[in-house]
């Protein structure tokens, strides 16, 4: 069960999750920062395949993460999947940036719930200081996975994978899309927005019992689900209701 409040808080299984505009969550009772889908090094991966894409996203994302750590006083991080984008994403520059970031926050415990991009040579090398936690991690009353399609519907769960976007039509305002935190009530699963700045999103279609907290103008606001326009026929099916293909 989740209880929403206008100040960007969710109460799940007796725990307080503060939803942050940086597209991550601070679990107040434990000091754990929760985020998903960094896809670090995606620009390096695309350059490896011949596309002229400038680097800079990795440094920006790690800087943003540092600011959240300092602001919240987090003592631990759980990444809910997709830390690097692909093996080719681990360029020397990207690895150096991650290693420098990790040394700056050497006191933090950092764990990675493995996602569909965290396979084989795409896994963070030892120098990154990221501990693999496997495909599912339990901590107190909460469970952490990558794909919400794997949520059992009985355990309060946090996931990523979908990079959810809410397509909103509000009275007196033009329609727009915004990243959101999506509570899937039937699955008892909170889907996090993609943290990485160089990640695409998927327009979602929530169910009546779901809850949306939308990030807009650097604020997190609860928005009734009926303001979220249905996904068009060319978009993916409502994610988390059936197994999704791997994201790109």
**pLDDT tens digits for range 85-109:** 888 889 899 999 999 999 999 999 9
Q: What is the pLDDT of residue 165?
A: 95
Which one, of 13, 8, 236, lies nearest residue 141 by Cα?
Answer: 13
Residue 167: C-alpha distances to residues 120, 201, 212, 216, 233 (Å): 35, 11, 11, 12, 14
Model's pTM, two decimal places?
0.86
Tell me the mean pLDDT in the region 38-48.
Answer: 64
Task: Give the whole-angstrom CA distance, residue 153 versus residue 159.
Answer: 13
148-162 pLDDT per residue, tens = 999 999 999 999 999
For the chain, the domains span 2-227
Average pLDDT over residues 183-198: 94
If one compares 174 and 136, the residue with the highest pLDDT of the two is: 136
pLDDT tens-digit readout, 50-68: 444 446 579 999 999 999 9
- The sign of the torsion formed by the CA atoms of 99, 104, 110, 116 equals negative
Tokens for 178, please give them: 């915004």
SS3 content of the chain, % helix, strand, coil (to 5): 20, 30, 50
Q: Cα(52)–Cα(197) distance, rounded to whole angstroms?
A: 17
Strands of the sheet containing 15-20, edge to edge, are: 2-5, 9-12, 15-20, 24-27, 32-35, 76-79, 109-113, 131-134
CATH class of the structural domain 2-227: alpha beta
Question: To the nearest 10°, the Cα dihedral for 146, 151, 157, 159?
Answer: 20
Position 151 scores a pLDDT of 97
């Amino acid at each position: 069960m989740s209880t929403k409040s206008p100040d960007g808080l969710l109460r799940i299984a007796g725990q307080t999750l503060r939803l942050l505009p940086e597209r991550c969550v601070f679990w107040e009772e434990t000091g754990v920062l929760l985020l998903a889908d960094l896809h670090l090094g995606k620009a390096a991966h695309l350059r490896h395949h011949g596309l002229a894409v400038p680097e800079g996203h990795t440094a920006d994302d790690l800087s943003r993460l540092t600011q959240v750590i300092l602001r919240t006083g987090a003592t631990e991080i759980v990444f809910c999947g997709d830390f690097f984008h692909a093996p080719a994403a681990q360029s020397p520059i990207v690895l150096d940036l991650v290693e420098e970031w990790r040394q700056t926050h050497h006191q933090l415990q950092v764990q990675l719930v493995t996602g569909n991009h965290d396979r084989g040579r795409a896994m963070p090398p030892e120098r990154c200081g990221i501990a693999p936690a496997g495909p599912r991690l339990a901590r107190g009353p909460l469970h952490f996975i990558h794909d919400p399609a794997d949520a059992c519907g009985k355990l309060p769960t946090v996931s990523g994978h979908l990079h959810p976007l809410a397509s909103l039509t509000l009275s007196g305002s033009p329609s727009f899309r915004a990243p959101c935190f999506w509570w899937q009530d039937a699955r008892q699963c909170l889907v996090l927005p993609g943290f990485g700045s160089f990640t695409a999103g998927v327009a979602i279609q929530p169910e009546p019992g779901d809850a949306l907290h939308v990030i807009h103008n650097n604020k997190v606001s609860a928005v009734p689900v009926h303001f979220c326009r249905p996904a068009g026929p060319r978009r993916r099916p409502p994610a988390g209701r059936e197994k999704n293909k791997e994201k790109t």
